[in-house]
Structure 1
Amino acid sequence: MNKRFFNMIPSPDVACILLYGEVGDKWDGVTDADIVRELRDYESLYGKIDVRINSIGGSVYAGIAIFNALRESKADITIYVDGVAASIASVIAMCGKPVYMSQYARLMIHNVQGGCWGNKEELKQTMEHIEQLEETLADIYSSKTGTDREEIKKTYFDGKDHWLTAKEAKDMGFVDGIYDVEEAERQDVESPDNVYKLFMNRMNNNPLNNDKQMFEELKKRPLFANCADSASALAVIGTLENKAGKHDTLKAENDTLRQKLKGFEDAAADARKKEIDTMLENAVKEERIRPADKDTYRALLEKDFENASKILEGLPRKKMISDGLDKNDPENKGTWEKEQENIRERRYGKK
């Protein structure tokens, strides 16, 4: 039975992948094959992809496959924990991309769980297998938080379920922010100012084990992907630092220009309004339009001034008595008056 995968939500600018459900469950959850295939398709269409998690966990190996696909992706990926990221779902969230939690969400970490049936050698192999997986997961949590791997195992792999609030997860370095509390402070990886701040925060508060690991962590980010060595990475950081220093000045200049532009636009709009008022008053005075038609012609002029003004000027005006007067006669005498005057001159003589 074929099942269409509905965990992908496209949009004009940003694609969204929903990791809602049990990881590895091909019927009601999310499978690694579907996620990886759709992720590869979206990478060719979108520069930015949001991954939203609400999962109680599931298959460790399916989760690791999704983790690796997200970690190696060249797309600009941001992780959001909307409800719960438990067990292997919490590992997926540690894929090296910026991750944010809702203030109401939870992160849960615990030991790898599994079982088998067989003789003592088979049971022993299963135990060794689980311990190896826990070493791997401890490395992942350690890389994200900067906490020592043994400390991670001691704290979280003790046979208990450890439920973390968004604030606790942020304080411990598992997530980068709380998206519905710190919206205004959310770090945008495309902003030079915020990339620089994020890097410095990670470097000061969550030191990596060595320089090589730090460099490899940096290369996972789009801005550092083409850096060949730590020197080139430091050059990029220096550029970001300069841009960050200029950010406030550029923002102030931009605000000033916007205010000036608005002033020019308001002045132009006011001048055009007065021009339209004058045109309509003249049109009514010359009886080219009725007073009741002013609003209709005003709307036309506001929408397309050039063409509407030509139409308005082309309307015939009412013929006035003064139009019949000879404009060259300073006394404005009509033809009939002049003829009567000629008759009087012939009869009585010229005065």
Structure 2
Amino acid sequence: MTRTETWPNRFWGSAPLPKTKREFFDAIVAPKASGDEPEIATIRLYGPIDSWGGYWGISAKDVGGVLDALPDSVTQIILRINSPGGHVFEGISIKNLLRAHKAKVTAVVDGLAASAASVIAAGADETVMSPGTQMMIHCTSTIVWGNAADMRKEAAVLEGLDRSLAEIYTAKAGEKDWATLLEAETWLTASEAVAEGLADRVADIPDAGESTTVSDDEQIVLLPDEDEPEDTAAARVIRFAASAATRVPRPPDSTEPGEPNRKETAVAYSDLTAGLRERLGVTDANATDEELLAALDETLEEQADTTPTATLPEGVVAIDATALAELRQNASAGAEARAEQTSARRDGIVDTALREGRITSASRDHFRAMLDSDETATTSLLASLAKNTVNVTEIGTSDSLTDSDDALYGSIYGKKEA
């Protein structure tokens, strides 16, 4: 049996495996449009209900991992269903997981909710049939090998399961002859499902919008060619996805009583593809991995062929770091030399005023400080002072003594000769 036959969503036989679990099971969280609106998470349950999980279908463990990864701020879950059903106990478990979650769950049948999938739909807080959809309910079935006693025992198990299904449908739609409806394998259109009470209304329910994808990081599955060189774009993308997955702690597999579990937003493959689409300018939201990798290779080739040139604003000049350091050193030395020249000039102005008899020695330091404060004004002030107003002749020495002066000095103090 291939994927295109009776079970179109099962990945077995000759059909190739999907590259990501997201191809048939996904969850996204939309940001709040305003502070008053609820934060909505959309879970797409498109595929059979199967305890194996993985590629073979959607298991209770898969759903539990997604619910655990939802942010605590999520207050509403839109569960979009298109499933032929599958394992009854997995369906009941998924229904109970959703019922136990604090968020309000709205089940939206997008195509078919049959068998175990109808159990999940009926267990939601609200069940909405999209136009043109159907729901199917029937008795449970199995395959058994053994003697007559084994057959009777298995029949009793199936009858008990049918009663369990009737209880679930009764909780949704009220008392009816569920045994007859199940035995007849009843197919219901959207309006008939509402009439029977298994759905609340027929309507088109808008999606929450794709923003942040949450899922168990084990579901990030990339299948590169074994011969893929490590330096290709595909290999780099795969390594990036693997490293991104390791940066976020894995959510717990169970939320049973005990130690409280903190929910974290898990990194999922859709974050990577959405980021690649944005950076590569790919407008097709449904672009395949191959198309994204081809766009990435093309971009990398363009970058390799183009030598980037930096464009500086007008008036801005680039300079080598060594040359800049040398200029700074020279500027510092020049500033020191200029400061010394300024100091020498101002000293000369004060000394000139002192020699010309314009100021006294006692006021020299005062006028020197004034020059440091305002050289122009102080220079003008000194120039305005009259010359020779201060006696600058030295006292106590003379070069014009006469011989009589020497004789007088000797008669008073005596003269000793050798």
Query: TM-score normalised to the size of structure 1?
Result: 0.48
Larger RCO (CA under 8 A, 6+ residues apart) = 2
Q: Larger % of helix: which? A: 1
Query: TM-score normalised to the size of structure 2?
Result: 0.40
Which structure's CA Rg is the greater one? Answer: 2
